[in-house]
Amino acid sequence: MGLALLAAAAACIVAALLFASAGLEQSRASAAAELAALAASDAARGLGGHGDPCAVAAQVAARNGARVLACRFTSALSAAEGAAAVVSVASDRAPGWGVFPLPQASAEAAAGAPP
């Protein structure tokens, strides 16, 4: 009886750690998407990085443990606003320590010129 209770408690702890790992990877993917979108937006406006804005976004995402799945620019609502960069990323790290089959974390973010 005591061994079964110990096994159940261990299973609950592992499950809680798996959910925490997945949440952490989702937060990392969200941060990487936000930073990549900001970098792409700045590069498109000639600030910060030089070259293709989506290549700049890919470099920033890679530095944050993610890879760019898609990078595009929305059409501007007005000439003063400019276009917004929309970047989708996926985390390079596998949640669940690569042992348990959990879905890979991904996120999308948009950034544009300040109002």
At residue 81 the predicted structure's pLDDT band, cuts being 50, 70 and 90, is low
Amino acid letter for position 55: A
| pLDDT for the residue 94 | 72
Domain limits for position 16: 2-111
**Per-residue pLDDT tens for 18-69?**
887 788 889 999 999 999 999 998 888 888 767 889 999 999 999 999 999 9
- The residue that leads in pLDDT, 73 or 89, is 89
| pLDDT for the residue 14 | 83
Question: Hey, CA dihedral for 32, 68, 107, 109, is it positive or negative?
Answer: positive
Q: What is the mean pLDDT of residues 82-105?
A: 80
| pLDDT for the residue 98 | 65
Q: How many domains does the chain have?
A: 1
Rounded to whole angstroms, the Cα distance separating 67 from 26 reads: 13
Q: How many CB atoms neighbour CB 5 within 10 A?
A: 9
Is residue 77 over pLDDT 50? no
Amino acid letter for position 104: Q
Rounded to whole angstroms, the Cα distance separating 63 from 28 reads: 11
